[in-house]
Amino acid sequence: MKEWELIVDKDPLPGSLNMAVDEYLFRSLPSAPQTCVRFYRWERPTVSLGYSQVAERVVAVELCRRLGVDIVRRMTGGKLVLHHREVTYSICSSDASVFSMSLAESYRLISCALIQGLAEMGLQARLAGRPPHSYPRGNLPCFSYPAENEVEIDGRKIIGSAQKRVGPRFLQHGSILLESDAALLRQVVSLSAEIGQLRMISLAEALGRKVDFEWAVDRLIHGFEAYFEIRFKPRIFSAEEWRLIEEIERTKYASEDWTLRRRESPKLAIGIS
């Protein structure tokens, strides 16, 4: 039985620090097969932008500042996500024997494990089919439609994910809604995004009751263990690792030059750039 590393951040963290931790986990992957799964949440409502998105086309920057909504840019692709009342997961791996060398196949496998976790909660979810042709190229937010092989319940997206891959090594992270906040999402999205109907559903809505972070994470962990037939061991960062993580946060994710793409962000020499 394979042994994977597990991080559960019970205390909410700033968005910039969450992104720095995920990037550090990706950069520090060894060439030998290794997998780490992390669950976390956010200190304040935070909009995350996909790597290639043009900020002014998708997010109302000044309104976010007035509302106290943070903005970060992910190292992964995909569309705008409002992180608020949710469980966020990330998985970093260099194990091609489990996930293959394919972005699409690894994405599908992780979605299947997440579906197993939802089944542990008593929910019947499935892999989504292809969205409308206009969705991938447009500026709609992530939770407007389920993308292919994302996780949906009754045609509504409950988990949105994005991945970055370099050879056999990849980072995938995603948002699992505890409660939806469509009103705030509509406020923070740029007018040019032209939001229509939001095809999203939260755990609270699907289950008909409030769900807490710890309960949901426990069942998602069991889902990963059952689907991949692995066991977890806890991973704890050393003081030196925290120093490197905070350096990534300071020079990249806490910088508007990176977030709003005003100039090229500096690269750090601690692994993959």
Cα separations in angstroms, 14 against 17, 72, 217: 5, 10, 19
- What integer pLDDT is reported at residue 267 of this predicted model? 43
Is residue 160 one of the residues assigned to a domain?
Answer: yes
Across the chain, where does the E strand assignment appear? Answer: 2-8, 35-40, 46-49, 70-73, 81-83, 86-93, 126-127, 151-153, 156-166, 169-177, 230-234
Is residue 266 one of the residues assigned to a domain?
Answer: no
Domain at 68, CATH number: 3.30.930.10
**Quick one: pLDDT band at residue 271, thresholds 50, 70, 90?**
very low
Phi, psi dihedral angles at 93 (to 5 degrees): -150, 150
pLDDT, one tens digit per residue, over 35-68 is: 999 999 999 999 999 999 999 889 999 999 999 9
pLDDT, one tens digit per residue, over 163-216 is: 999 999 999 999 999 998 888 988 888 765 556 667 789 999 999 999 999 999
Give the pair of three-digit tokens for residue 15: 């968005």
Is residue 272 one of the residues assigned to a domain?
Answer: no
Q: How far apart are CA 80 and CA 243, in angstroms?
A: 29
- CA atoms within a 13 Å half-sphere pointing along the CA-CB vector of 171: 20
Does 263 have pLDDT greater than 80?
Answer: no
- What integer pLDDT is reported at residue 268 of this predicted model? 40
- What integer pLDDT is reported at residue 191 of this predicted model? 63
How many domains is the chain built from? 1
Q: How far apart are CA 174 and CA 89, in angstroms?
A: 6
pLDDT, one tens digit per residue, over 101-145 is: 999 999 999 999 999 999 999 999 999 887 555 555 555 656 554
Question: Given the DSSP bridges, would you call strands 35-40 and 2-8 parallel, antiparallel or unpaired?
Answer: parallel
Annotated active-site residue 36? The verdict is no
Is residue 34 one of the residues assigned to a domain?
Answer: yes
- What integer pLDDT is reported at residue 272 of this predicted model? 29
- What integer pLDDT is reported at residue 199 of this predicted model? 79
- What integer pLDDT is reported at residue 99 of this predicted model? 96
Is residue 268 one of the residues assigned to a domain?
Answer: no
Q: How far apart are CA 173 and CA 210, in angstroms?
A: 23
pLDDT, one tens digit per residue, over 14-28 is: 999 999 999 999 999
pTM, two decimal places: 0.90
Cα separations in angstroms, 127 against 35, 120, 132, 152, 155: 23, 16, 16, 6, 10
- What integer pLDDT is reported at residue 149 of this predicted model? 85
Contact of 147 with 200, CB cutoff 8 Å: no
CB contact burial 19-56 (16+ within 10 A = b; e otherwise): bbbbbbbbbbbeeeebbbbbbbbbeebbbbbbeebebe
Tell me which residue range forms the domain holding 74: 2-259
Q: How far is CA 61 from the centre of its chain?
A: 21
Give the residue-averaged pLDDT of 56-81. 94
Is residue 270 one of the residues assigned to a domain?
Answer: no
Q: Which amino acid is at 20?
A: A
Contact of 217 with 8, CB cutoff 8 Å: yes
36, 64, 92, 142: the catalytic one is 142
Is residue 212 one of the residues assigned to a domain?
Answer: yes
Is residue 265 one of the residues assigned to a domain?
Answer: no
Cα separations in angstroms, 188 against 46, 47, 57: 10, 8, 12
Q: How far apart are CA 147 and CA 160, in angstroms?
A: 8
